[in-house]
């Protein structure tokens, strides 16, 4: 899947907090300060791990796919279970040939894992850690109080008062992601997921039931390159990369997005039809 370069999509934009955001670094061991600080970079500025963004995106898309067919997005606990890993290893041992194994394991891999990866398949989608835009950051953390509730008395439990740190609303983070060697229907799936972030449908971090973590993604640029199996086109791409010539990329417009979405719809309908035929 990754032994031959075929295409690349670069995504840049800004993720802004609509409400306060809490991506916790865990309970603090410091004698002073917040009990639950947020994750920070080496400069003490807030940070959203790329894995947090990717995990939230994958979870939302998997919920859509399972609503269509459970086999389109396998349960993560099953994917990483020792029994499943044993099955994969046994398949590799039985087939011997790497090419045959790769072909067979791809057939057995669900749609979500084709894009986001699995224990035996590398992810096509890479997200950088989201760092705050320094020109818009002035160290303005907020401290909020929390308390555990005694379920019997429905009052504050004794000794359970704590405080937690949040990043305030309106804080902008730089967003950068790359997709390589993706099929059209996989790009369609990703397009739908990113649209969920663009429309504030996917919250991040903790305290979401309290209203925290609402974010809005503003995509500023989508740059696409497809070698289309042409050695000459790929050679030209490599040459222009060295000279920093951005014209090697195509700016993704609505027409290309529509093509990707249509490819996804056709793939899903064909998959559902094939499963229905097989069960008869």
Mean per-residue pLDDT over the chain, rounded:
86
Higher-confidence residue: 154 or 124? 124
Report pLDDT digits (tens) over 123-144: 999 999 999 998 888 888 877 6
pLDDT at residue 160, rounded to an integer: 60
CA distance 145 to 100: 57
CA distance 234 to 232: 5
CB 121 within 8 A of CB 109: yes
pLDDT at residue 3, rounded to an integer: 77
Report pLDDT digits (tens) over 202-248: 999 988 888 889 999 999 999 999 998 899 999 999 999 888 888 88
Higher-confidence residue: 103 or 122? 122
- Lay out the sheet containing 250-251: strands in order across: 125-127, 172-180, 7-17, 215-226, 250-251
Q: pLDDT tier at 74 (50, 70, 90 boundaries)? A: confident
Domains, the chain, in order of start with CATH, read 7-74+110-279 (3.30.70)
CA distance 205 to 211: 11
CA distance 141 to 143: 7
Q: With left for phi above 0 and alpha for psi between -120 and 50, is residue 157 left, alpha or beta?
A: beta
Q: With left for phi above 0 and alpha for psi between -120 and 50, is residue 33 left, alpha or beta?
A: left
pLDDT at residue 186, rounded to an integer: 97
pLDDT at residue 28, rounded to an integer: 45
Higher-confidence residue: 210 or 257? 257
CB 38 within 8 A of CB 141: yes
pLDDT above 50: residue 78: yes
CA distance 88 to 105: 8
DSSP of the chain, one letter per residue? --SS--EEEEEEEEEEESS-B--B-----SSSS-SBPBPB-TTS-BEE-HHHHHHHHHHHHHHHHHHH-GGGS--HHHHTSHHHHHHHHHHHHHH--HHHHHHHHHHTS-HHHHHH-BTTB--SEEE--EEB-GGG-----EEEEEEEEETTTTEEEEEEEEEEEEBPTT-EEEEEEEEES--HHHHHHHHHHHHHHHTT-S--SS-GGGTTT-EEEEEEEEEEEE-TT-HHHHHHHHHHHHTT-GGGSEE--HHHHHHHHHHHHHHHHHHHHHHHHHH-
pLDDT at residue 164, rounded to an integer: 75
Q: With left for phi above 0 and alpha for psi between -120 and 50, is residue 27 left, alpha or beta?
A: beta
């Amino acid at each position: 899947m990754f032994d031959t370069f075929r295409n690349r999509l670069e995504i840049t934009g800004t993720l802004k907090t609509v409400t306060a955001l809490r991506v916790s670094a865990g309970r603090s061991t410091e004698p002073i300060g917040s009990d639950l600080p947020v994750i920070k970079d080496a400069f003490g500025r807030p940070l959203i791990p790329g894995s947090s963004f990717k995990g939230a995106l994958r979870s939302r898309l998997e919920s859509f796919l399972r609503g269509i067919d459970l086999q389109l997005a396998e349960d993560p606990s099953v994917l990483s279970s020792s029994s499943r890993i044993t099955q994969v290893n046994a398949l590799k041992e039985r087939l011997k040939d790497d090419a045959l194994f790769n072909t067979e394991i791809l057939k057995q891999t669900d749609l979500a894992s084709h894009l986001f990866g699995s224990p035996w398949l590398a992810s096509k989608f890479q997200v950088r850690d989201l760092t705050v835009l320094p020109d818009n950051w002035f160290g303005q953390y907020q401290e909020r109080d929390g308390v555990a509730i005694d379920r019997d008395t429905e009052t504050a439990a004794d000794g359970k008062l704590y405080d937690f740190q949040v990043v305030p609303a309106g804080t902008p983070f730089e967003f950068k992601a790359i997709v390589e060697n993706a099929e059209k229907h996989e790009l369609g799936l990703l397009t739908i997921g990113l649209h969920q972030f663009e429309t504030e449908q996917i919250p991040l971090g903790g305290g979401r039931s309290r209203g925290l973590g609402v974010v809005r993604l503003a995509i500023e640029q989508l740059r696409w390159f497809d070698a289309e199996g042409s050695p000459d086109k790929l050679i030209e791409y490599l040459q222009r990369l060295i000279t920093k010539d951005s014209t090697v990329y195509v700016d993704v417009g609505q027409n290309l997005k529509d093509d990707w979405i249509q490819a996804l719809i056709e793939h899903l309908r064909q998959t559902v039809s094939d499963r229905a035929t097989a069960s008869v």
